[in-house]
Amino acid sequence: MASDSASQSSPTTSTPSKHIRLTSPPGQQRAGTKPAIRWGAATASERGPVWWLPGVAWRFRVSEADLRRSLFEETGGMYPELVTRSDIEVMEFPVYSARKRQVGGDNADTCFLRTECVAGVQDMRFQELMPDVLHWLGIRKIHRLVNMSNDKYDAITHSGIEVGERVRIPDELLPADAHVEIDAKIAAGCFTDGAVPSPTDLAGTKGRGLE
């Protein structure tokens, strides 16, 4: 962020660093040996939607002050800057940040509830058109699908692409903080070949706090 006394500009695109852990494919492992683990680094560019509050207020034909107050109240007071800082004109509502900020911290039993508070629904993604790019690439069969989403799986198979095997991400490859969302998704019916977390388990699955 760069700012001076007259203006403030904030980034709308982030470029985080990623650390990737790769293991040797099963066919390249010798009997009785552990898979070779290689570490690498990558850069991923991420973009998310932001709201220009004066423009949103104009489109809704309300004052910016009323819009700020309404957003502040409807998101449970998670973003006090809406009413305490009038110099912020661009606002982004990240679900993950909201989960970290909520009372009690980030835990699996309220994972989707917090998403609904911010986005209005548990998931706004429309998966029916997702397989189009797979067809465009000429893919007709996925031998091993490493994805737990039933919505994605159903969209892929209903589009005519064959899936040979569904593979769950091994627990040892999951960062500790990822268990919040993973456990919540499994409890909601997403694919797993292991145990489904109970309500008690979900209440005990907590992520790290704000850093």
CB atoms inside a 10 Å sphere around CB 20: 9
User: What's the burial of 159, exposed, middle or buried (CB within 10 Å: 0-12/13-18/19+)?
Assistant: middle
Q: How far apart are CA 157 and CA 186, in angstroms?
A: 20
- Catalytic residue status for 125: yes
**206 to 8, 19, 161: CA distances (angstroms):** 36, 23, 37
Is residue 154 flagged as an active site residue? no
52/62 Cα distance (integer angstroms): 14
Say which of 123, 166, 168, 201 is annotated catalytic.
123
Catalytic residue, chosen from 21, 59, 61, 125, is 125
- Could you tell me the two tokens for 191? 């694919």
Burial class (CB in 10 A: 0-12, 13-18, 19+), 175: exposed
Q: Which residues are identified as catalytic?
A: 123, 125
